[in-house]
Chain A
Amino acid sequence: MTSARHRIWDLLTSLKLTIGCLAALMVLVVACTLAQVHLGTFGAVERYMRSWLVWWDIPGTVLSVPVFPGGALAGLVLVVNLIAAQARRLDLSARKAGIWIIHAGLILLVAGEFVTGMYQTDNQLIFREGETTNFVQSPRELELALIDTTDPAHDDVYGIPERLLARADAVEIHGTPITLRIRRFYENSELFNLPPGQAAVATAGVGTGVLVQEAPPVTTDDRMNQAAAFVEPRAGDRSYGTWLVSNALGAPQSFVHEGRTYLLTMRARREYLPYALTLKDFRHDVYPGTDIPKNFSSLVHLSGRGGEERDALIYMNQPLRHDGKAFYRASFGEGDRLSVLQVVENPGWLLPYVSCVLVTLGLLVHFAIALRRGLRRQAQARAAPGPVTPAGAERASRAALGGLT
């Protein structure tokens, strides 16, 4: 038992494991880069870098087998390996302070990627000059929105993410008497006119004339899944029929329960902001006499909490940072009147910077310690009696380099 524990401990602290993890990450980076041709950036990163295992679909079957560790697994093992190796080999002394700082920086770098993978949200904000908007929407994820439009002053918007639609049989909408039974969900689908004589799954709304067929999920960046679901709104024992919802239909459908009107619509997943942005001016400057872009910038006005009112100019590599979100310039359109901002929220965005500073600092500290030690040995060697031989000079030179070799 003890020897097995030793073997595991040896493995965890092995330098070979470090090299193996780094090699696996290099292979994953190459594979992920090549896979972007077919899967798109997001799909490739999800499949190779943010997964525990890389799966291979066996052709002609529905089976998948893991064929390689994913980036998450390789990163986790690398972190464990770094921590274990540091605990085993390095003594907690000022002499090794640089190595400690370097290791801490590396661990923080990998941990930062985990934080990014788990917590980062990536949305878009689209508006025209003069328009004010207070929500961002996902370029990839969808939601089924149930909107209570009864109140003349405001709407209550309940968003059910597609991932919940995919796995839940029923979704209780807290704050309303409505429960949505999910009869069938299609991550991607094709819609056809219902052939004559064929019974429809939907019993209400536009879906009564539509046939839904499952389609393989979209994998490229420039396309979005055409998700569809058959849902049955229920309030207590009362059913409001089975409705087809899909972002391909793009049109809200409605039902009324006890005087309250509810809209059902599948759309890009939204996040409403506690502030509003107005696009005051979009600039697309070109070099004189050419169509070569010189500058893209969006001048926005922020109306925020507590009466905050201010302008901000967003341009290349100069995002607006507000309330934990960064608004980057992303695209434009409609005769240079429309601006698209990429809205990124990542609580760990500072971690890579901190880790780089730590690694740099650790290297400097370690070099300074080694240099000081080497110089001291050189001084001792000079002070010692006897002739200076070539072997002695080489020893002194090696001592000056210290732990860097």
Chain B
Amino acid sequence: MAKSGLDRTMDAGWDGSPGGASPEGLSMPFEGAVRAARSRRSGARRPRPSGWLTAGLILAAAAGCRRDEVTHFRVPKTSPAPALAAMAATPGAPAAGELPAPPTPGGALRWKLPAGWTQAQGGGPMRYATLKPPVPGKVDVTVIVLPGAAGGELANVNRWRNQIGLPPADEAGLAAARKTLRTGAGDVSVYDFASEGQVSTRTVAGLALVEGSSWFIKMTGDSSAVGAARPAFLELLGSLRRDVR
């Protein structure tokens, strides 16, 4: 049984010393206990009856302030920092202590539109293109391009999983879920996730790294609609090629 372990301090006026470095603060070994390192003022007087309103206002202000504080938790590692590892593995990632170089504009991708599909340029924030499959039901197909690794494959896949209510996957789960498609634009990682809870949604997505830019071709929507459009979508992914002008 995995045990949790963490310390917690609350900054901004609660700690007696910066960063919770007081004996109550950081570095407390976890034994199933979290202590908020809020120093308690000893000898606090009981408010007089005439001061109840003032006390109430102070309590209200304290409650409001507490929600705006910087929190600090010391948590045991559950897995190596995957996103960082993904970034480090990316060609051109910054070396320690250096700033990353600005991304170079990558070449565009082209694809063959399956029969019956329609395409519009843009169509929303960050969208390179919006596609529409000829299937009934709610389904949204987007092509998004971001410079660089865009944070890494695991973080982006987990974002998609989060969008349909699935918990994050780890590196092992990512590798198990990944299918690789060889295309004219290089290898494309393909993922297929379904959430079959109260709202049945499904996401099928391809991820390609082309000349320093990350391309995300994603279809998401009702499970039935995505399932109907999936063969044509995979056909579209297979037709990806670089746009050589």
Contacts and interface: CB of A to CB of B under 8 A. Distances in A.
A163 to B, nearest CB: 5
- SS of B interface (majority): loop
A309 interface: yes
A306 B32 CA distance: 6
B196 A334 contact: yes
Contact of A175 (B72, B155, B162): B72
A306 B151 contact: no
A156 interface: yes
A252 B32 contact: no
Interface residues of A, number: 84
Q: Indicate the member of A114, A157, A209, A278 with the most B CB atoms within 10 Å.
A: A209
Interface string A140-162: 00010001010111111111110
B164 to A, nearest CB: 8
Interface string A168-187: 00010111100000000000
Q: Indicate the member of A171, A249, A265, A272 with the most B CB atoms within 10 Å.
A: A272
Contact of B74 (A119, A156, A334): A156
Nearest to A256: B96
Interface in A279-331: 301, 303-309, 331
Nearest to A257: B97
A394 to B, nearest CB: 45
Interface string B13-34: 0010011110001100011111
Contacts of A240: 99
A39 interface: no
Nearest to A180: B70
B50 to A, nearest CB: 13
B112 to A, nearest CB: 23
Nearest to B106: A209
B245 interface: no
A193 interface: yes
Contact of A157 (B4, B25, B73): B73
A371 interface: no
A161 B69 contact: yes
Contact of A149 (B5, B18, B69, B84): B84
Contacts of B6: 134, 154, 272-274
Nearest to B6: A272
A204 interface: yes
Q: Indicate the member of A160, A206, A275, A278 with the most B CB atoms within 10 Å.
A: A206
Nearest to A160: B70
A369 interface: no
B115 interface: no
B67 A276 contact: no
A209 B99 CA distance: 15
A204 B6 CA distance: 31
A155 B3 CA distance: 15
A250 interface: yes
B116 interface: no
B244 interface: no
Interface stretch (B56-64, B132-140, B180-188, B235-243): B56-64
B87 interface: yes
Contacts of A334: 165-166, 194-197
B75 A157 contact: yes
Contact of A273 (B34, B148, B166): B34
Nearest to B165: A333
A139 B49 CA distance: 39
Contact of A128 (B83, B97, B162, B167): B167
A379 interface: no
B197 A174 contact: no
Given A250-B151, A274-B32, A301 B74 contact: no
A196 B147 CA distance: 13
B32 A304 contact: yes
B218 interface: no
Contacts of B9: 175
Contact of B67 (A163, A173, A174, A272): A163
Interface in B169-196: 194-196
Interface in A96-139: 114, 118-119, 126-128, 131-132, 134-135
Given A161-B68, A193-B145, A274-B33, A153 B125 contact: no
B128 to A, nearest CB: 7
A332 interface: yes
A174 B11 contact: yes
Contact of A250 (B3, B19, B31, B159): B159
Interface of A: 114, 118-119, 126-128, 131-132, 134-135, 143, 147, 149, 151-161, 163-164, 171, 173-176, 190-193, 196, 200, 203-206, 208-210, 240-241, 248-257, 259, 261, 263, 265, 270-276, 278, 301, 303-309, 331-336, 338, 340
Closest 5 CB pairs of A and B: A251-B151, A175-B19, A333-B197, A134-B4, A209-B147
Given A163-B68, A208-B147, A334-B195, 8 more contacts: A159-B71, A175-B72, A209-B148, A250-B151, A250-B162, A275-B32, A332-B198, A333-B199
Interface of B: 1-6, 8-9, 11, 15, 18-21, 25-26, 30-34, 56, 59-60, 63-64, 67-77, 81, 83-84, 87, 94, 96-97, 99-100, 102-103, 105, 125-126, 128, 145-152, 155-156, 158-159, 162, 165-167, 194-199
22 contacts: A134-B5, A143-B71, A153-B77, A159-B70, A164-B70, A175-B9, A193-B126, A206-B149, A251-B152, A251-B156, A252-B151, A257-B97, A261-B84, A270-B73, A273-B34, A278-B1, A303-B1, A305-B31, A333-B199, A334-B197, A335-B194, A336-B196
